Chains A and B, each alone.
Chain A
């Protein structure tokens, strides 16, 4: 729709003016890493972040989310969507959000996700410092970058803000931002056009070839070898921007008749994820770690491709960094399978 220019020294006051309208969730430093968190002090904003520990989906789909409270047989929804700005989302995470949007809307519309999603305004930003394990430049390339409302691109002397939806336009309408000049717009286009070239890791295989080869390796013993050091800790699932599985539990409260139902992120690497109750006992349909490890790669490279139009991986590299045993990196695993 339209492009605006924000000088470097004007970024904080831009964020400040958004904070005056609604809570702003943006990347901030935490230890040696970064996380998306609600900005308290605008000086905490770090658009130069490499990547965050957890992906921004947590804003719509919190790691632990109360679903309903019950008392005397009556249930009340815990849904309470709060409008907020999600600022500084990298393109790979925007793609991942467009995937979870689809996954939570298809077949059964998940109101607990969608209600939070609908009231959020997403302002993306280009990657200024690529994460060392990232390979977004060579995966999910056919997937259109959609779902955000505006996008900030860092140029030599400031930022170009591209507003792409009415929701975005409405948010910034009264901020009195200057229009971007033709030179500024073209510099921003140049930055974004070469963004993928700066991505540190490359996955040198086409998605279709990977999908076919991984499927055909289902019965291979390679999975035992690849998962030998796996802890089944599920860190790769939990930091993944496209994982969307959860577990639901009910809990009594202290009163005689009240309680609540909540959900918590879950993942297929965890052993209890595949445990089901069978005739009073239980059965695990992916009992060993190799089966669970294989399942994750099937999901990421093959099973969801038709539904999503791309593999369910955007190359953020979070799983590679989060795995203490360093066996979760899709680039290493896919390469090993392609060469087998």
Chain B
């Protein structure tokens, strides 16, 4: 079987998901028997204008001028995979989406905020610009899920099963004691699973870095954050904004 040509590209992001790849070790090296990396600026100088089998795109779509580059990747790629939370959901970049551009520019860049290249639009998933075939979600993306999905794709599977249930399921399956039972809070009930729930298992509340499940009960979540998590009404309302701005009822 010919090796599958893979390339990585980045847009509005910290490139942490690509860095996560380089931390990977054994399963990734095993994958190299089956894939050929033709562009990946975190690990190599070479780039390509040739057709690609799988394009992994990191980062959100937050500037109109990025559209042409996204479209050119789409044209050359057999499969486009949104790589990590920013590309899949808009991720943490979407925190600014409910704010005025002048406000967040000033807040982040201070006196330099008038430089023209800092003009951005709402941070959106790359699916807002091009057709995306599948997503490897998470902040950073889950390495186990990466191997699982890529393994299915190189076999030619067109639709890879990914869970649609919330993180609570994965906590139960690994018998993690619920954060709420430990007197903490957690966004697990509305957070999309697939990560294997490593954070609550380490005693850290889920922040819903993969976004929300479809039909998430946000009203009930706010109630639970207040009644069981001890939060004020405002904090409970704002709590889920960090990674889920594009999912919220007030988006």
Contacts and interface: CB of A to CB of B under 8 A. Distances in A.
A254 interface: yes
Interface in A124-161: none
Contact of A252 (B152, B169, B186): B152
B165 A270 contact: yes
A265 B169 CA distance: 9
Contacts of B163: 272
A46 to B, nearest CB: 14
Given A233-B168, A233-B189, A251-B148, A31 B182 contact: yes
A324 B178 contact: yes
Interface in A206-240: 228-235, 238-239
B223 interface: yes
Residue from A58, A249, A272 having most chain B Cβ neighbours under 10 A: A272
B177 A33 contact: yes
Interface stretch (B13-21, B30-38, B243-251): B30-38
Interface of B: 1, 30-31, 33-34, 147-148, 151-152, 155, 157, 161, 163-166, 168-169, 172-178, 180-182, 186, 188-190, 213-217, 219-221, 223-224, 228
B165 A271 contact: yes
**Among B147, B166, B174, B221: residue with most chain A CB under 10 A:** B166
Contacts of A232: 165-166, 213, 215, 217
B68 to A, nearest CB: 34
A53 B181 CA distance: 11
Contacts of A233: 165-166, 168-169, 188-189
21 contacts: A31-B182, A53-B175, A53-B176, A54-B172, A63-B172, A228-B220, A231-B189, A231-B221, A233-B189, A234-B165, A234-B169, A251-B148, A251-B151, A253-B151, A254-B31, A270-B165, A271-B213, A272-B164, A322-B172, A325-B220, A325-B224
Nearest to B217: A231
Contacts of B177: 30-33, 53
A33 B182 CA distance: 9
A252 B215 CA distance: 31
B164 A271 contact: yes
A202 interface: no
